[in-house]
Structure 1
């Protein structure tokens, strides 16, 4: 998928973020610091990571500045309410930066933290892929805990199977 203009990217990204927000809302507040294994990201770490990478890596680099990501630890925000506030505030800051880009900016090369060059629209696509990757972790963590999660596109796979069975039986 090529991103050819800023408004369409922002619209698409808002839909991605809505799905991420829905799964985050499923996390029991008393499990924000839970992890499946010592030394691995907690739910809170995952949420802070999505926010910090978006703002301090992707948003900085599209402006031509070096990445400023320094991690996703509790020093950024601790406790469910503070973590969610951090998540939402960094997103608003990032959206302001992305909104300031022109459609022509999307075709410019930017410097990645690894020293490579990438077209801006491809970098923004990687941002979306990164968020989806970590949202999948949240779904997995919740599954391990047996916590029900919202379907990504409105129906669960079981509901799609039921509908398909009804349709094929008519």
Structure 2
């Protein structure tokens, strides 16, 4: 999928973000800094990572600036309310930057961490894949905690099987 219109992309991306945000409602407040194994991302780390990587890596690089990503620890936000508000604030800042990307800019190259150059529309597409990847982690973490989560598109796998011929 090639991105030719930033506004239609941002509408699509907002829906992706909303599906991630919907999952936050299922996170037990006392489990925000829980992880399945020492040294691995906590639930809060994943959310802060999504916030910071979007704002300080993706949003910076589409402006032809170097990445400013410095991690995702509790120094950015701690506790359920702070972490979810931080995610929303960073997303709003990022969306303002992305909204300034012109149709011509979408076809320019930007330098990403590691020194590779990539077309901006492809970089934005990678941002969506990155969000979805980490949303999957959140589903897994919540599953490990025995938290019942909503199906992403209205039906569980079992319900799809039951409704199929």
TM-score, length-scaled by structure 2: 0.98
Could you tell me how far 1:73 is from its partner in structure 2?
0.3
In structure 2, what is the equivalent of residue 93 of structure 1?
93
Q: What does 1:11-26 correspond to in 2, within 5 Å? A: 11-26=11-26
- 1:55 matches 2:33: no
CA distance in 2, matches of 1:39, 1:11: 36
- 1:102 matches 2:111: no
In structure 1, what is the equivalent of residue 130 of structure 2?
130
Superposed CA offset, 1:107-159 (max 9, x none): 00111111011000000001111111110100000111110111111111111
Could you tell me how far 1:42 is from its partner in structure 2?
0.5
In structure 1, what is the equivalent of residue 156 of structure 2?
156
TM-score, length-scaled by structure 1: 0.95
CA distance in 1, matches of 2:146, 2:16: 24
Give me the CA root mean square deviation: 0.8
Could you tell me how far 1:54 is from its partner in structure 2?
0.1
Number of aligned residue pairs: give it: 165
In structure 1, what is the equivalent of residue 5 of structure 2?
5
CA distance in 2, matches of 1:22, 1:82: 16
Who wins on radius of gyration, i.e. which is larger? Answer: 1
CA distance in 1, matches of 2:119, 2:59: 14
Other structure's SS at 1:110 match: strand
**Residue ranges of structure 1 left out of the alignment (5+ in a row):** none
Superposed CA offset, 1:3-43 (max 9, x none): 11101110110110111011122111111011000010000
Superposed CA offset, 1:62-94 (max 9, x none): 001100000000000011100011100000000
